[in-house]
Amino acid sequence: MGERTPTLRARGLTKVYRTGEVEVHALRGLDLVLETGELVVLLGPSGSGKSTLLNILGGLDTATGGEAWFLDHELSKLDDAGLTRYRREHVGFVFQFYNLIPSLTAVENVALVTEIARNPMAPDEALRLVGLGERLHHFPAQLSGGEQQRVAIARAIAKRPDILLCDEPTGALDSQTGILVLEAIERIHEELGTSTVLITHNAVIADMADRVLVMGDGRVHEERRNATRRPARELTW
Instruction: Please report, as ranges, the residues that interact with Mg ion according to CB under 5 A.
Output: 51
Shortest CB 44 distance to ligand ADP, Å: 6
Give the chain's end-to-end CA distance (angstroms, integer). Answer: 33
Total residues in contact with ligand ADP, by rule CB under 6 A:
12
3-state secondary structure of 31: strand
In sequence order, the 6+-apart residues with CB closer than 8 A to the CB of 175 are 236, 237
Least separation in angstroms between CB 50 and Mg ion: 5
Least separation in angstroms between CB 35 and ligand ADP: 23
Task: Write the DSSP symbol of residue 34.
Answer: E
Burial 174-196 (b: 16+ CB within 10 A, else e): eeebbbbbbbbbbbbbeebebbb
85 binds other proteins (CB under 8 A): yes
**Count of residues that bind other proteins according to CB under 8 A:** 29
Stretch that binds other proteins, among 24-32, 40-48, 107-115, 224-232 (CB under 8 A): 107-115
Toward other proteins, which CB reaches closer, 116 or 204?
A: 116
Among 26, 40, 179, 182, binds ligand ADP (CB under 6 A): 26
Q: Which CA distances in Å does 107 have to 13, 20, 97, 161?
A: 37, 42, 18, 18
What is the contact surface with ligand ADP in residues (CB under 6 A)?
17, 19, 24, 26, 44, 46-52
